[in-house]
Amino acid sequence: MISNELFTSEQDTPLLSSGSRTLTRASFWQEVRRLEGLLRPMDPPPEGFIIINETDPLRFFTSLFALWDLGLKVSLPTEDFVKGIKDYGFYRSSLSFDGDEPRLTQVRGSVSMPGLDRGDMILFSSGSTGAQKGIMHLRENLLENAMAVNEVLGLASYSSITMLKPYLVSAISHFLVHYISGSHLRFLDLGELEAIDSYYDEDNACGIVGSPVHLMMAASKTSASRKPALFFSSGDFIYSSSIKRILGKFPGAVFYKAYGLAELAGRFFINRIDSGTPEAGMDALGGNIPGTSYAVREGQIYASSDYLFSGYLIGEDFVPATREHPTGDLVKQEGGRLVLSGRLSDEIKVGGNKISLKYIESQASSVLKDDIVVVIAQPHELLGNLICMVLYTQHRDKSRNGLMKQLREVLRSHELPHYYYYIDELPYTQSMKVDRKEIARNLKSLDPIE
């Protein structure tokens, strides 16, 4: 149950907005109680997971809190998961809406999967592998992680805009941190981004939270006369060159670079960056939040946490978590700081040399002064792999030789890409990470840079 002093409120201050609708803290809880009253007579089975099949932020979060407060098990699927819903058997009901009225639909009759007692919440993610996996948590993991993040941030009563989908772990974490800190989170659809300046008419210091792509898009559409107080990055890696460009346009803002994993209920490392932070400090991961510890073995981060997940649900199998979670993320020590250098799944061999595609991307981004540089590998029978770089069409004035000359400033000979391509529009996953698999599938259809 979550009925305690922290999660009840009579305050009439804004909490959650989407479009023209806003819930204050008081009206948020009024709606939570209304939904609880309607859901109780429906007698949802306590042993099965209930999937929230709703993407409207106001309905999603009030439904989530109502189910939490009723002590029920909750699953938060991605859109891809909903499409393949028939293939899973660990839930009993789907929660959707008919107008303002909640509707519970039984979708499966069996919940015989082992491991269901390990948690009361499932976050779904495709992760870097592209394979659907459920991440089993206790709801307290998410709440305690958000409280630890809020302790590190030390912020009170601010407002932020996000373009994340509400069912993603990043969005849930952001919402909980905003709730705990007495702040206001506004969900903005990507299609409304052109109108972002109007949000600053109400609060000229409104910040931006979300994936690196969201932050860069929002910063480009926000007038320089606006004064956003903060940018909070989550999800994929953001390069120091991108942070510098954002802070160059908004020098009074503070940039929070967060490293997090769905397996750890949200954030893990947070680095506070402002206009006076040296570039080496912008690349660093920052400090780990309370309730967490880590070790680095053979360059990989192993994470331990009070908020660690219970295990994975992959298809109909449950895989318990280990005490120390191997994150798959690789780091280097630079000047006493931890700096991300890639992922295990990102390392390849070229002519016998081991290289990281993420490292090449970060170096290329800095020298080309471009926020979006995508580097992928194509297998080769002799060299092991060929490196391909994909750039926006804004680089049409560059030649292959010109690009290689610039890249030689920061890359060794075996790290230089072999092929270069233009792309008109990058494909993204639903969490706004660049969809590298989609690019690789369509590489032959792109325009080569001669």
Ramachandran class of 49: left when φ > 0, alpha when ψ lies in -120 to 50, beta otherwise: beta
Q: What's the CA gap between 310 and 265, in Å, rounded?
A: 11
Report how far residue 387's alpha carbon sits from residue 227's, in angstroms, rounded to the nearest whole number.
40
Residue 115 has what pLDDT?
75
At 427, the amino acid letter reads: P
User: Kind and range of the H or E element at 259?
Assistant: strand 254-261
- With tokens 């409120």, the residue in question is 9
Cα separation of 36 and 115, whole Å?
A: 27
CB-based burial label for 168 (10 Å; 0-12, 13-18, 19+): buried
Average pLDDT of each block of 10 consecutive residues along the chain (450 residues)? Answer: 58 92 94 94 80 91 93 76 55 84 77 74 66 83 93 92 90 94 93 89 92 89 94 83 91 94 89 93 93 94 93 82 90 87 78 80 80 81 81 76 89 89 82 80 86
What are the residues whose beta carbons fall under 8 Å from the beta carbon of 223, sequence distance 6 or more?
197, 200
Q: What is the pLDDT of residue 11?
A: 79
CB contact at 8 A, 122 and 135: yes
Please, what is the end-to-end C-alpha distance for the chain in angstroms? 62
pLDDT at residue number 432 = 72
The pLDDT of residue 9 is 65
User: How many beta carbons lie within 10 A of that of residue 137, not counting itself?
Assistant: 27
Structure tokens at 103: 């509707």
The answer to whether domain 140-289+328-341 has CATH 3.10.20.30 is no
- CATH code: domain 14-112 is 3.40.120
Q: Where are the domains of the chain?
A: 14-112, 140-289+328-341, 351-448
- pLDDT of amino acid 108: 60
Q: Does domain 351-448 have CATH number 3.30.300.30?
A: yes
> What local confidence, expressed as pLDDT, does residue 130 receive?
53
Which residues touch 250 (CB under 8 Å, ≥6 apart)?
219, 222, 224, 226, 227, 228, 231
Dihedral over Cα of 218, 220, 223, 224: its sign: positive
Distance CA 132, CA 126 (A): 5
Structure tokens at 22: 């806003």
